[in-house]
């Protein structure tokens, strides 16, 4: 058996389609199909069957998948242990964060690379949490009030929220040009909100209480896209004032919303916290973010 075939079993078992597996592995879907069929021929029994919902594992497929998963975890444990013992500032460092944070702290990332040219930053963005145990990233910069207990890290800042909208939108709605607005006035505006997949419970609760009849014209799963559409006048929204700093035409329409703050955390796996490049990056970035503490305290 070619042990590399097991990576194809894992990818297809997790993705459900040849295309998704190929995307994960960085190969064409026909390569996935060829490798899976070759492995099934070698084993003399099917590992997957095609269904309308995608490729489903047979009982033998589940057994092979479980073995491959255990092997993958062992390899990842070894990789983390080896990286955790490294004391030099070279190699690749995988960073996962929101697009918004890569934009807000762009100068810090550039300066880190200037100071440490031997470290290649591999930056991946997205709203979904990555699996640091599986080394989908070495360090995660996340907005959360409940960081996973199995990770280690530090709180480096706090985002506070208020209602924002563009000055142009307020003018079109016939609202006062200055000052804060009450709930009745806010309800006259179109609103943009988070996609339900974001789990923005506090935002939804606030809107139900204060603008229950508001017209929600769009929902977003990316803070950067939402911010740009907010600045373009798409609607009013609950946003962090710190994230609005590059948009001069946006106006704060409410006081700071109590109970709506969210912390910024730098997180890593316990096995990696002593790795030189991880430790150096976390210390540098935490200092760079904390330098913006006064700005983050203002809505």
Whether 109 shows a pLDDT value over 70: the answer reads yes
In this prediction, residue 184 has a pLDDT band, given cuts at 50, 70 and 90, of very high
CA distance 137 to 82: 15
Q: Which residue's entry shows tokens 């798409």?
A: 234
φ/ψ region of 148 (left if φ > 0, alpha if ψ in -120 to 50, else beta) reads beta
In this prediction, residue 96 has a pLDDT band, given cuts at 50, 70 and 90, of very high
CATH topology of domain 161-252: D-Maltodextrin-Binding Protein; domain 2 (3.40.190)
Per domain, the residue ranges of the chain are 5-83, 86-158+262-297, 161-252
Work out the mean pLDDT of the chain and round it to a whole number: 90
In this prediction, residue 123 has a pLDDT band, given cuts at 50, 70 and 90, of very high
Q: What percent of the chain has pLDDT over 70?
A: 96
> pLDDT tens across 17-34, in order?
999 999 989 999 999 999
Tell me the mean pLDDT in the region 35-61. Answer: 93
Tell me the mean pLDDT in the region 154-166. Answer: 95
Task: Work out whether strand 139-143 and strand 91-97 pair parallel, antiparallel, or are unpaired.
Answer: parallel
Whether 289 shows a pLDDT value over 90: the answer reads yes
Superfamily of domain 86-158+262-297: Periplasmic binding protein-like II (3.40.190.10)
Tokens standing for 4?
């590399």
Domains 86-158+262-297 and 161-252 share a fold: yes
What's the predicted TM-score (pTM) here? 0.70
pLDDT-wise least confident of 96-100, 172-176, 228-232 = 96-100
Task: Work out whether strand 139-143 and strand 262-268 pair parallel, antiparallel, or are unpaired.
Answer: antiparallel
Mention every residue, 6+ apart, whose C-beta is less than 8 A from residue 23.
15
Identify the pLDDT of residue 80: 66
Identify the pLDDT of residue 86: 66
CA distance 158 to 265: 9
- Domain 5-83: assigned CATH number: 1.10.10.10
> pLDDT tens across 233-262, in order?
999 999 999 988 889 999 999 999 988 899
36-70 burial code (b ≥16 CB/10 A, e <16)? beebbeeeeeebbeeeeeebebeeebeebbeebbe
Q: Which helix or strand (DSSP H or E) is residue 122 part of? A: strand 119-125
Q: Which helix or strand (DSSP H or E) is residue 295 part of? A: helix 293-297
């Amino acid at each position: 058996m070619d042990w590399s075939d097991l990576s194809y079993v894992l990818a297809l078992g997790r993705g459900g389609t040849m295309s998704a597996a190929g995307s994960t592995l960085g190969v064409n879907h026909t390569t996935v199909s060829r490798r899976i069929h070759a492995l099934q021929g070698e084993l003399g029994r099917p590992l997957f069957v095609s269904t309308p919902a995608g490729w489903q594992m047979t009982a033998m497929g589940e057994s092979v998948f479980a073995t491959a998963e255990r092997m993958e975890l062992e390899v990842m444990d070894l990789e983390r242990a080896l990286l955790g013992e490294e004391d030099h500032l070279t190699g690749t460092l995988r960073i996962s964060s929101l697009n918004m944070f890569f934009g807000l702290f762009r100068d810090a990332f550039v300066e880190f690379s200037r100071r440490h040219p031997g470290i290649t930053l591999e930056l991946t963005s997205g709203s979904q949490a990555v699996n640091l145990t599986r080394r989908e990233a070495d360090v995660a910069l996340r907005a959360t009030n409940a960081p996973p207990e199995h990770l280690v890290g530090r709180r480096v800042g706090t985002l506070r929220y208020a209602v924002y909208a563009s000055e142009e939108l307020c003018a079109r709605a016939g609202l006062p040009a200055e000052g804060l607005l009450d709930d009745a006035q806010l309800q006259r505006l179109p609103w943009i909100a988070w996609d339900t997949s974001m789990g923005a419970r506090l935002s939804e609760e606030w809107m139900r209480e204060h603008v229950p009849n508001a017209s929600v014209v769009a929902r977003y799963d990316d803070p950067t896209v939402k911010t740009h559409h907010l600045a373009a006048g798409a609607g009013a929204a609950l946003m962090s004032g710190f994230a609005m700093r590059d948009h001069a035409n946006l106006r704060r329409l409410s006081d700071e919303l109590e109970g709506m703050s969210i912390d910024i955390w730098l997180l890593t796996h316990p096995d990696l916290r002593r790795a030189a490049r991880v430790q150096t990056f976390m210390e540098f970035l935490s200092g760079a973010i904390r330098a913006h503490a006064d700005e983050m305290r203002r809505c």
